[in-house]
A and B are shown apart, each in its own frame.
Chain A
Amino acid sequence: GAGVSQSPSNKVTEKGKDVELRCDPISGHTALYWYRQRLGQGLEFLIYFQGNSAPDKSGLPSDRFSAERTGESVSTLTIQRTQQEDSAVYLCASSSLTPYNEQFFGPGTRLTVL
């Protein structure tokens, strides 16, 4: 079946605008993760959804960042009033059953804030 998909693949926006990034996980995967990777840096955990449990938002860098997930399907990551330091590749991953299972990564969305 299809892997994790993300859209858009690239997004260029002006500072101060809001952006919305989308992730479609693998069908049946109950766990969904968002990560960020700034240029030349490692991966940063942002937020984790598991089924109907309250999401783990401990990695969100500020209140400008929020994410939603509808059931066990698509998730959107929203960044309000974007700043230049938000420029990064935003990666989504999904896994089945528990958070301890293997994660499958999407291709990422490259966000550039001018």
Chain B
Amino acid sequence: KNEVEQSPQNLTAQEGEFITINCSYSVGISALHWLQQHPGGGIVSLFMLSSGKKKHGRLIATINIQEKHSSLHITASHPRDSAVYICAVRADKLIFGTGTRLQVFP
């Protein structure tokens, strides 16, 4: 079993839909990252959080340390949100989930 599990693995949505991507982990962590990887391969760091909730524009990330769970929400999704979203946790080193591939259709 992977130390960082993401769900779903693949997700398709219509433009405007509210999207949730989940990340569960089994190790003690000091921080959790959400990353976005576009089809060209470039990676963008979306959030780093260790507690509570953060919001950037249409993106919201939450973390529950007790439940070892984080969610990434996208409100009013748009085709340009299509990408792979990766959860990574900071334990003794950075451990990555396998990613969630999101496709948003117009």
Interface residues of A (CB under 8 A from B): 33, 41-45, 48, 56, 58-59, 89, 91, 99-105, 107-108, 110
Contacts A42-B86, A44-B96 known; list 5 others, CB within 8 Å.
A33-B94, A43-B96, A100-B90, A108-B42, A110-B41
Contact status B93-A56, CB under 8 Å = yes
Q: Is the CB of A103 within 8 A of B33?
A: yes
* Interface contact B96-A42, CB-CB below 8 Å: yes
A-B contact count (CB 8 A): 47
Main secondary structure of the interface of B (DSSP, over half): strand
How many residues on chain B are close to A (CB under 8 Å)? 21
If A58-B93, A59-B93 touch, whether A103 touches B99 (CB-CB below 8 Å) is no
Q: Is B7 an interface residue (CB 8 A)?
A: no
Given known A-B contacts A58-B93, A100-B30, A108 and B45 have beta carbons under 8 A apart = no
